[in-house]
Amino acid sequence: MEVKGKIIAVQPVQTGEGKNGTWKKQEYVIEYEQHSQYPRKMMFNLWGDKIDQYNIREGQSLKVSFDIDCREYTGRWYNDIRAWKIEPDEEMPADAAFAQPAHQSSIAPELSPSDENSDLPF
C-alpha cells in the first residue's frame, strides 16, 4: 500500500534491547487527502538503519509505501504500519502549504441565541 502526503510530526527515536540485540524505531505522522474538507492522518514507523537512510523531517511531502500488520501482546491486539520505501512526492513541492477549501460547507445550521442555552451536551 502507499499514501502521499505531508509529514506533520516526527516522534523521538525509541530504542531497546530484544532477543536479537539492540533495536531502534521512529514514528512519523503523515497527513494525506490534503485537499478534502477533513484531511486524514496516519502514523507509520521505520526501524533500524532506514531511520538514517531516509532522514525524514517535518514538512516534507512524501510518498510512503508500507505494510500493515497486527500482533497480539498480553491478550490485546495492536496494528503496526511499517514503511519499507519512502520517496519524495513529485506532485507536490516540499514547501507547499495545504490548500484550504474555497468555501465552507453549509450543512450545519446556524444557531440562534436560544439554541446556545439548551441543555444538550452537543
- pLDDT value, residue 117: 54
Nearest to 31 by CA among 44, 18, 21: 44
* Whole-number Cα distances in Å, 25 to 8, 11, 15: 18, 10, 6
- In which residue are the cell numbers 532477543 written? 19
Euclidean distance between CA atoms 120 and 122, whole angstroms: 6
So what's the pLDDT on residue 34? 79
Q: What is the pLDDT of residue 106?
A: 40
Residue 91 DSSP class: T
Per-residue pLDDT of the chain (122 residues; tens, 9 = 90+): 999 999 999 999 999 999 999 999 999 999 998 788 999 999 999 999 999 999 999 999 999 999 999 999 999 999 999 999 999 988 765 444 433 333 344 444 444 454 555 555 54
Are the C-beta atoms of 62 and 2 separated by less than 8 Å?
no
